[in-house]
Copies of this chain bind each other. A is one copy, B any other.
């Protein structure tokens, strides 16, 4: 075994691609401000590195879901706007004050709570109104009620809503929600408006208003899947081959004997599993990729179930020599992105990246 053999899977995150994606979307959405959504540890990719990279290309506004996520960003960047989507509650109100976080107010109850508990030097707030997603946010009746209590909106900084079907440019909900948004905003004071996230950014400028909230697209996900992906790939995942063996005709592989060799096969054992975030639903359907020294790509089907630390794949049809013990297998790359892996796993790229494991050796390219 002279070849260098590793056992730890490798997650590479290309910060240059994140920055290029930001620049691309900034041009696309101009003159709207492009803010960044970095909740859940920047979709699992590392909030410190992502926020720093985006700050360096001029991003000034960051969104998180929870207040403690916002506090973490404030430690990195003293002079940006940090907006917290989940809004203030009894165990986070102090964080809003200490870290100068901007609250999103999603219900009349929450507005009342904020009014009663905010400090004198509190930041102005963002109002989240629902336009058809029917998730979190003020409903039409709430807005009508507020429109007759305009003194409660003296500190209003921005009005936002969120699109339900913006990844489908032909969906009737898009125009419906956009019209609703414009109409409901007309009942409220004239402040900044924001409707679109990454997917809305591709729907045309009438969806961009004053600010677009960019998340998934920054990280390479195709949020406009009705056309070729315009984003640079950000993520690559590799894991080493631990062993190569023949699986004789009629024998089984992995838990539940879920794969059976109908002819004698050659299998490679790879050092990555669902504990690292490879979804179990890729059993018998996922792909692993190998590259030879001439940059030829070869595909190998995942055989049997995904284990916590290991997968096996079928390399029978790959020329001998390409795959050896120690060879790095690729699970996500420029050709087979997290969108592809998500689709094959019956889910979305968003879930794939948000649920990657902690055991990777993480390398940031910049």
A residues near B (Cβ < 8 Å) are: 1, 4-8, 39-41, 43-44, 65-69, 85-87, 89-92, 106-107, 109-110, 112-113, 132-137, 139, 164-165, 167-168, 171, 173, 240, 242-243, 245, 247, 251-257, 267, 269, 271, 274-275, 277, 279-281, 307-310, 312, 325, 346-348, 350-351, 354-355, 357-359
* The residue from B4, B68, B110 contacting A8, defined by CB atoms under 8 A apart: B68
- A86, B274: Cβ atoms under 8 Å? no
- B109, A1: Cβ atoms under 8 Å? yes
Q: Which of A133, A252, A355 has the most CB of B within 10 A?
A: A355
Number of identical protomers:
2
Chain B's nearest CB lies how many Å from the CB of A178? 15
| Residues of chain B contacted by A269 (CB below 8 angstroms) | 135-136
- B274, A325: Cβ atoms under 8 Å? no
Chain B's nearest CB lies how many Å from the CB of A127? 14
- A40, B280: Cβ atoms under 8 Å? no
Beyond contacts A6-B89, A69-B359: 12 other A-B pairs, Cβ-Cβ < 8 A, are A1-B113, A43-B275, A65-B308, A65-B309, A65-B359, A66-B309, A132-B251, A133-B254, A134-B267, A137-B243, A139-B245, A279-B351
| Residues of chain B contacted by A307 (CB below 8 angstroms) | 135
Chain B's nearest CB lies how many Å from the CB of A155? 18
Q: Which of A40, A41, A67, A247 has the most CB of B within 10 A?
A: A40
| Measured CA separation A110–B4 after assembly (Å) | 12
| Residues of chain B contacted by A171 (CB below 8 angstroms) | 257
- A355, B136: Cβ atoms under 8 Å? no
- B164, A7: Cβ atoms under 8 Å? no
| Measured CA separation A8–B269 after assembly (Å) | 39
Chain B's nearest CB lies how many Å from the CB of A242? 6
Q: A89-B7, A106-B242 are in contact. Are A135 and B275 (CB under 8 A)?
A: no
| Residues of chain B contacted by A164 (CB below 8 angstroms) | 252, 254-257
* The residue from B275, B310, B354 contacting A308, defined by CB atoms under 8 A apart: B354
Chain B's nearest CB lies how many Å from the CB of A279? 8
- A245, B134: Cβ atoms under 8 Å? yes
Chain B's nearest CB lies how many Å from the CB of A275? 4
| Measured CA separation A281–B351 after assembly (Å) | 10
| Residues of chain B contacted by A350 (CB below 8 angstroms) | 274, 308
| Measured CA separation A332–B358 after assembly (Å) | 23
* The residue from B68, B69, B173, B309 contacting A252, defined by CB atoms under 8 A apart: B173
- B7, A274: Cβ atoms under 8 Å? no
Nearest chain-B residue to A251 (Cβ)? Answer: B134
- A271, B308: Cβ atoms under 8 Å? no
Nearest chain-B residue to A84 (Cβ)? Answer: B7
Q: A40-B309, A87-B7, A106-B242 are in contact. Are A354 and B274 (CB under 8 A)?
A: yes
| Residues of chain B contacted by A347 (CB below 8 angstroms) | 279-281
| Residues of chain B contacted by A92 (CB below 8 angstroms) | 7-8
